[in-house]
Structures are given as structure tokens and as C-alpha cells.
Chain A
Amino acid sequence: MDAIILQILNGLDKGSAYALIALGLTLIFGTLGVVNFAHGALFMIGAFCAVTFSKFLTLSHTVIDENKTDFLGNPAKIEVPYIYDLFGQATGDAIIDWAVPLSLIVSIPVMVGIGFIMERGLIKHFYKRPHADQILVTFGLAIVLQEVIKYYYGANPIPTPAPDAFRGSFDFGAMMGFDPNTIIYPYWRLVYFAFAAVIIGAVFAFLQFTTFGMVVRAGMADRETVGLLGINIDKRFTIMFGIAAAVAGLAGVMYAPINSPNYHMGMDFLVLSFVVVVVGGMGSLPGAVLAGFLLGILESFASMAVVLELIPGINQVIIYLVAIIILLTRPRGLMGRKGVMEE
């Protein structure tokens, strides 16, 4: 029982990452009809916003310490962050410690800006081109983006820890009457889950309850008619692209403490998030979220030792297997609309 509860927790946590990325992909796809292979790269850039911000906070000047030596036996150079000079060491350390949550503030404008530039500068010209061309150009863009990151940050993962207050894990077991230590879950992952829920909720509320959202939904359903009504749908779609980029970016920022970011983390997520989107059904936002959580939970169950003993290797293929079964039984995924991307 406790093992199952634990894996459900895990699945929700994994699922929230999948759902966030899939949500952004579907936003772009549903509104603009563009298959964006650079979406994983946006997620990666989000994580590197956190990295860059914490690097920025720790910008230092060097002080030569004659008492210590470096590995070559020369006098050691000690790096002193400027922030120490500004706020003193204690406050400085506290600010550096909170770099990841703080970088959320910075990353929103950055990601929206990147989204705008991408849409206006590149994607706009591809609305009427075949999907294959969209895939090629966004894939090219994804490679360029990740190579640029690699050029500046190297290929190795860069540790970006969560604030000290969120280290360690919460013991659900003790709370729910199981033995202590049986159901523990890290605080930061719980934060991530809550964060994802808030973002998903906000996007849905925005689309559901604002006039802007209503127009965008109408545009998703029938772009031409909305245009004929005299509404400038293009401008709204650009904004939606910016929002989608921000969702991907925020997902990346918050993910940085979970796994140290590296330049190819976007590609690692890309294929998976496409599977999620398609299983959810092309063009369906609730479908994307549902599929994200479903696949996350199934993946967690498949990685249990008991299951692996029964079916060796199932953890390697579960997501794809489920995708095949769902697509064969439900032709347009869980909640897909008819006629979208079927030709």
C-alpha cells in the first residue's frame, strides 16, 4: 500500500513536468498550428535562466590570499562575490541561496521576449508552410540554441541547488499512520508539483474567463471566421506564443534544482513531450495535462522492482507501449479534436 502511494506521488511529480511542457506545446500547436520542435530548447533555456542568474549573483572579484596555495603551489586566488560587498556576507549568502526562486522573476520577461522574437522573426513565416518544413526549421533552431548554450556553459551539468529551506524531505508516512520513513518526498518536488498546478490552473483560467482567452479559443476553433469578424487574431497569437514560451521556461527554472541543467536536457524531454501531446490528443489542452499525469504515473509504476521482476525491461518501453495502445483504441488520443494534424 505505502509503495503504491509513493509511486502515485512520484507519478504526479513526474507528470507535472510532462504536463507543463505538453501544455506549452499544445498552446502553440492549438493556436498557431505550428509543430514546435524548439519547445524543449525553451525549457532548457528556462533552466539556464536560473543558472545564469545564480552566476550573476556570484559574480566575483579575486583577492589574493598569501596564506593559502592553489594546486600549483602559487598563492591562492579567492573569489569574493560583489554581492558580499553590497549586502555583507550573511545577506549575500541568503540571496545566493534563493537564486532559483528569485530567477523566476527574471525569467518571465526573458522567456516572453524570446517567445515574441521567435514568433515574429521566424515562426510567423511558417504558418502556411507544410508541417515538415516547420519541423525542420524549429529543429534547426533547437540545435542552434543548444549549441550556443553549450559554447558558453560547457557540456557538463551545472549544479543549481534549491534554497536550503527546501532541502530534505517530508515524511508522509508518519502523517498518514504508516511507519516513519516509508513515504518520504522531497520538499522541492512538492513545491514543483504545487507550482505546476498553479501554472496549469492559471493558463486554463486565463483562457476560460478572460475575453482575450475567449477570442483565442475561438481562434483555435476557427481562425478564419474570427478574422472575418474584424479581430486581429495574429497579435493575440503572438502573445499566446510568448505565454507558451514562458510556461516552458518557468517549468525549466523550477526543474533546475531537481536535475542539474545541461545543454541537451531539452532534447531529452522533446520526444517524450510529443508523445504526451499526441496521447492527449492534438490541440486539446486538458488532454495534454491528463496525458502528462497519466504517463507520469504509469512510468513510476513500471519502475517498481516487483514489476520489473515480472516483466524485465518494461520501464524502458512503458511510455511508448501505452502510447501505442491508446492511439489504437482511441484514434485521436484521449481528447483530440477531429481533423487536426490527421492529414
Chain B
Amino acid sequence: MSFSKLTRRGLMKTGAAASAGLTLPTYLRADGHSGFTNAPTGSTVTLGFNVPQSGPYADEGADELRAYELAVEHLNGGGDGGLMNTFSSKALQGNGILGKKVEYVTGDTQTKSDAARASAKSMIEKDGAVMITGGSSSGVAVAVQALCQEAGVIFMAGLTHSNDTTGKDKRANGFRHFFNSYMSGAALAPVLANAYGTDRKAYHLTADYNWGYTTEEAVRSSTEAMGWETVNAVKTPLTQTDFSAYIAPVLQSGADTLVLNHYGGNMVNSLTNAVQFGLRDKQVNGKDFQIVVPLYSRLMAKGAGANVKGIFGSTNWHWSLTDEGSKAFVKSFGTKYGFPPSQAAHTCYVQALLYADAVERAGSFNPCAVVEALEDFEFDGMGNGPTLYRGADHQCFKDVLVVKGKENPESEFDLLEIVEVTPVEQVTYDPDHPQMAGGSLGTCNPGA
């Protein structure tokens, strides 16, 4: 018996076609070359949507899934077409991808790298998915990206903000539309300096894992460049739920600004605790005490309630943007589901469309052709202004939003207001920037 990689779906389809319902004599095939993993041969193509459905990020995952379902509807020509109307590339026709109807499978990452890989593998091995996308944490993104590189399928990252995803852990088959820690720092620092002055003493609380480290480093280096001083940086365990022991000593340190490098549940709790301690009513060094949250998520900020008011942070996209793309997306998402989309939903929807468009332009589902089509691809009309998918690290470069918790929200979705749209030039960095160093894309892997 000879062993070699081959594609499952392709083989099945040829097998089914050949047998045409008749029972064929048993035969064993070890060769089904179509050039790449899971080449779609029938009239449909399967995409794999791997999002957290259990665990703390389940609501974010649910929103991602909604966005994917909407994207599939639009790709297949249903609905109002959404962003396909405003997208600068007009390759997509609304007849599926390359004329094949888009189908999808879903899985649960549980926000655990093991579970996410198991789920992605089942999509690739069992369902014949030709692209995997989604996720709500950098650990999962890096793990699944490495898997997709090995298996020879494309990975379009969902929400992942750590520098590592397109830094030290980048892979040729993986692409990220979401922004990253470095960009958050670079976008936030000038706005903070503007609002709070250049003479500030910052105290960092940092989630004790990779994303926390890269975010702290990014925010620290860009605020220190503006003249801020970092008084202290304390690491907090991921599993921490009560941050009182970390927040209580902040005032004693003489700091006048607290930076919370936390995300999700950690962010909600640490921010709630900080406000509970009355930090924002205090005066230190003759200045009002301030709190900063480098990465905002509207879905999560909702959990902190009124505590987010007036607090600065950055975000990838927000539904209150008024460009044509954002309006179109909010309209079609809002009409279908009754509430505005989150930034996670936006990035996932855009990723799905970008993939489909790249396949159309490349004329093939072959991952290497898709990689080529996406690398250094410039586009517009997707809600973030002119955007570049940089070939050197597969990271999107676009404007970054600096937002602030809204003082007088008009609805339950109206939590953040946009303070500034930081232009892309200001957040662009060299591919070999020290914060990104240590990785290498390698070359694309088509699998079979």
C-alpha cells in the first residue's frame, strides 16, 4: 500500500461521478492529484468557519458566525450584496466563487488552541474545506494558522490582535485583516498626548500572556516616545477575576494614568474594579486620573456598563463610521439581524469577501494562487478606507480608529464614539520591526 497525501472531497466527487450510483468494484486509490488540498470539483465549494461557540468569547463568536452567514448569502447572490457593491474590486459576480455555490461548515474553537485545531482539522479532513477562517484570540489564530500551512489551505484570521500572528508566528498561508498591538500603540499615543498632555506617569496592568506582552510593549514604547513615563508594569494572571489587589496600589505609586492591557472578561473586570475604586474621581500630580484601554471591543465593553464612559482605546472598525462601505455593511447586517455588527463581525465578513475576491482574480482555488492574488493587494470600500494587504507579512495596513467611551449613549449599541481616524502612514512599520522580529513567512503550501 502506498501512502501519499491526497484530497478527500476531490476523490469522493470523482468516485461518485464514476460510479454514478452503481456499486463499483472495490478499489483502493492513493492518488487523486488535483494539485492542492481539497480542490473543489463539484458545483460547490466549502468554507470552514471556526469560531468560539462555548467559553467566554461565545457571544463574539456568534457575531462572527452571523457575519459569515451574511457573507455567504451575498457571495451566492442573495440579500442586498452588502459590501460587494462598495468593494473596489469588481471581480465578484454574486454567483458564488468561480461559479461554484458557497457552502460552509462551522466548528467550535472553545478559545483553546487544541480544540480549535481539532475543529479545523475536521473541516479539512472530513468536510473538505478549502479555507478556514474565524477565531477570537491570538493563541487560536497562531495555532490554526500553523495547521493550515501544514495542511495546504488558506487561513483568513478572525479577531486576533497580537503582533505575533503576523510577526514571529506568521505563515505564508495565513492572512490577517485585523489590526495589531503595534498599531494600537502608534495610533493611541498621539491622541493621548493631545488629550492628557505629554507629562504623564503611566501604570500598566498587563495580562500575563503573549498578547498582553506585545500590547504592553507597543503602548509603552509609543507613549514613552511622546514623553510619558512608565512608573510600573504589573502582570496579572489570565484566570484572575477580581483585580482589586492589583488596582489598589495604583494610587500609592504616584501614577496618574492606568493602562489596562486586558481583553475580554479580564478587561471588563479590571475596568469595573478600577472605576469602583474611584480612580477616575481622583487627582494626582495636579491632574485628573485617567484610564486607558488599548484594545476596545464594543461587545465586551457592554459588560462594563457605564464604566467605559470617557475612556480611550482603539478599535479596528465601528458601526458608526459614515463611509459608504461601513454604511452598506451596517445596513445589510442590521436589516438581517436587528442590531449593528461588532468589529469582530466586520473583520470576518471582510476576510470572507477578500478571500472570495482573491480566488476570482486568481481564477483558481489553489492556495498559492490565492496567496499571490492577496499579496500587496490594494483595495478600498470595505469600511476602513484604502487598505493594503502587505506581501511581506500578510498584514492589512489601514486607518486605525481611536475611540472613547460615550458619555451619553443613545442606545445600548451606542457605547463608543470615534475620536480620531489615525491615518495608515502613522501606524505603518517595517516588516522587520523589532516588535515583529523572529518570524518568517516561508513559502505557500498547496498541500497535495
Question: CB within 8 Å of B: which residues of A?
Answer: 2-3, 6-7, 9-11, 13-14, 17, 68, 70-72, 76, 150, 154-159, 161, 167-169, 181-182, 184-186, 188-189, 258-260, 262, 264-265, 268-269, 299-300, 303-305, 308, 312-313, 315-316
Contact = CB atoms under 8 A, between A and B. Distances in A.
Given A71-B330, A313-B208, 9 more contacts: A7-B245, A72-B331, A155-B55, A157-B269, A158-B303, A169-B277, A262-B303, A264-B55, A312-B235
Q: Which 5 A-B pairs have the closest CB atoms?
A: A159-B305, A157-B303, A155-B58, A169-B278, A303-B245
A157 B251 contact: no
A313 B238 CA distance: 12
A184 B244 contact: no
16 contacts: A7-B245, A17-B242, A68-B410, A71-B330, A150-B58, A155-B57, A155-B58, A168-B278, A184-B282, A259-B241, A260-B304, A262-B56, A303-B236, A303-B246, A315-B235, A315-B236
Contacts of B306: 159, 161
B276 A260 contact: no
A155 B268 contact: no
Given A258-B276, A308-B235, A268 B410 contact: no
B232 A260 contact: no
A299 B245 contact: yes
Interface string B239-283: 101101110110111000000000001001100110011100110
A332 B354 CA distance: 61
A57 B277 CA distance: 27
A72 B327 CA distance: 9
Nearest to A150: B58
Contacts of B303: 156-159, 260, 262
Contacts of A189: 244, 276
B300 interface: yes
A290 to B, nearest CB: 20
A195 to B, nearest CB: 16
Interface of A is mostly: mixed
Nearest to A6: B248
B334 A186 contact: no
A156 B300 contact: yes
Contacts of A312: 235
B134 interface: no
Interface in B337-384: 340
Q: Chain B CB within 10 Å — which of A14, A71, A156, A186 has the most?
A: A156
Contacts of A259: 241-242, 268-269, 272-273
Contact of A186 (B56, B208, B276, B411): B276
B302 interface: yes
Contacts of A181: 251, 282, 284
B241 A305 contact: no
B299 interface: yes
Contacts of B426: none
Contact of B56 (A7, A11, A155): A155
B252 A161 contact: no
A185 B265 CA distance: 22
B253 to A, nearest CB: 8
A260 B305 contact: yes
A154 B319 contact: no
B276 A169 contact: yes
A71 B300 contact: no
B413 interface: yes
A262 B272 CA distance: 14
Contacts of B299: 156
A316 B237 contact: yes
A14 B242 contact: yes
B278 A186 contact: yes
Contacts of B31: none
Contacts of A168: 278, 281
A133 B322 CA distance: 58
B334 A72 contact: yes
Contacts of A269: 241
B248 A7 contact: yes
A182 to B, nearest CB: 5
Contact of A14 (B56, B235, B245): B245
Contacts of B242: 14, 17, 258-259
Contacts of A186: 276-278
B330 A316 contact: no
Contacts of B282: 181, 184
A300 B56 CA distance: 25
Contacts of A184: 248, 251, 277-278, 282
Contacts of A159: 272, 302-307
B335 A72 contact: yes
Given A156-B302, A159-B305, A260-B269, A6 B59 contact: no
Contacts of B55: 155, 264
Contacts of A258: 242, 272-273, 276
B22 interface: no
A154 B59 contact: yes
A71 B411 contact: yes
A10 B249 CA distance: 10
B18 interface: no
Given A155-B59, A159-B303, A308-B234, A182 B251 contact: yes
A57 to B, nearest CB: 15
Nearest to A316: B237
Nearest to B331: A72
